[in-house]
Structure 1
Amino acid sequence: MSNEYDPGSGAISVEGRSPGAVFGLLGDESRLQILQALGETPDEPVPFAELHRRSGVDDSGRFNYHLGKLRGTFVRRTDDGYELTYAGRQVIGAIYAGLYTANATVEAIPVEGSCPVCGGGLVAEYAEETASVDCTACEDFHNDFWFPPGSLDQFEPEELPLAFDRWMCHVIRGVIDGFCYTCAGRMDGRLVVDDADEGIGGLPAHAEFECDRCGSTATTSGGAPMLYHPAVAGFLYDHGFENGRTPTWELGAVGLPTGELLSESPPRMRVQLEHDGERVVTTLEDDMSISSVERITVG
Structure 2
Amino acid sequence: MSAHDEELPRVFERYVRCQFERTKSRFCSNCSGPTTPQVSESGMWDHVTVKFSCERCGQTLHSDVATSLLDYPDTIAFARTHGVDVRETAIWELPLVTNDETTVTAEPFRVRVTYPLDGDELTFVVDEEFTIVDVSGESDRYDT
TM-score range, shorter chain: 0.7 to 0.9
Q: Does 1:233 align with 2:76?
A: yes
Structure of larger gyration radius: 1
Q: 1:288: which partner in 2?
A: 130
Structure 1 equivalent of residue 37 of structure 2: 189
Distance 1:157 1:190 in 2: 36
Query: Do the aligned partners of 1:228 and 1:243 also contact (CA within 8 Å) in 2?
Result: yes
- Counterparts of residues 58-73 of structure 1 (less than 5 Å): none
Matched letter for residue 260 of structure 1: T
Q: 2:118 corresponds to which residue?
A: 276
Superposed CA deviations along residues 212-238 of structure 1, whole A, max 9, x for unmatched, are: 011111011121222121111211222
Verify: 1:247 aligned to 2:90, yes or no: yes
**2:65 is equivalent to residue 217 of structure 1:** no
Size of the aligned set, in residue pairs, is 138
Q: Distance in 2 between matches of 1:230 and 1:296?
A: 13
Aligned 8 A contact 2:22 2:29 in 1: yes
Residue 171 of structure 1 and its aligned partner are, at CA, apart by 1.5
Distance 1:173 1:289 in 2: 16
SS of residue matched to 1:156: helix
Moved over 4 A (4+): none
Contact 1:166/1:245, CA 8 A, preserved across alignment: no
For residue 241 of structure 1, report the CA deviation from its aligned partner: 2.6
Deviation at 1:255, TM superposition (A): 4.9
1:67-216 maps to which residues of 2 (within 5 A)?
Answer: 156-194=4-42, 198-199=45-46, 203=47, 205-216=48-59
Structure 2 CA distance for partners of 1:282 and 1:219, relative to 1, 3 Å = same
Identity, in percent, stands at 24
Give, in angstroms, the shift of residue 192 of structure 1: 1.4
Residue identity in the other structure for 1:169: R
Distance 1:241 1:259 in 2: 21
TM-score normalized with structure 2 length: 0.83
CA distance in 2, matches of 1:216, 1:166: 20
Residue pair 2:71, 2:87 contacting (<8 A) in 1 also: no
Q: Confirm or deny: 8 A CA contact 1:169 1:244 kept in the other structure.
A: no
Q: Is the 8 A contact 1:226 1:290 kept in 2?
A: no
Equivalence for 1:13? none
SS of 1:227's partner is: coil
Equivalent residue letter for 1:206: T
CA RMSD of aligned residues (A): 2.4
Cα separation, partners in 2 of 1:255 and 1:275, compared to 1, 3 Å? farther
TM, length-normalised to structure 1: 0.42
Determine which structure has greater relative contact order: mean sequence separation of CA pairs < 8 Å that are 6+ residues apart, divided by chain length: 2
**CA offset at residue 161 of structure 1?**
1.0
Structure 1's unaligned 5+ residue stretches are: 1-108, 111-154
SS in 1 for 2:83: coil
Whole-angstrom CA distance in 2 between matches of 1:214 and 1:247: 30
Give the 3-state SS of the residue equivalent to 2:40 in structure 1: strand
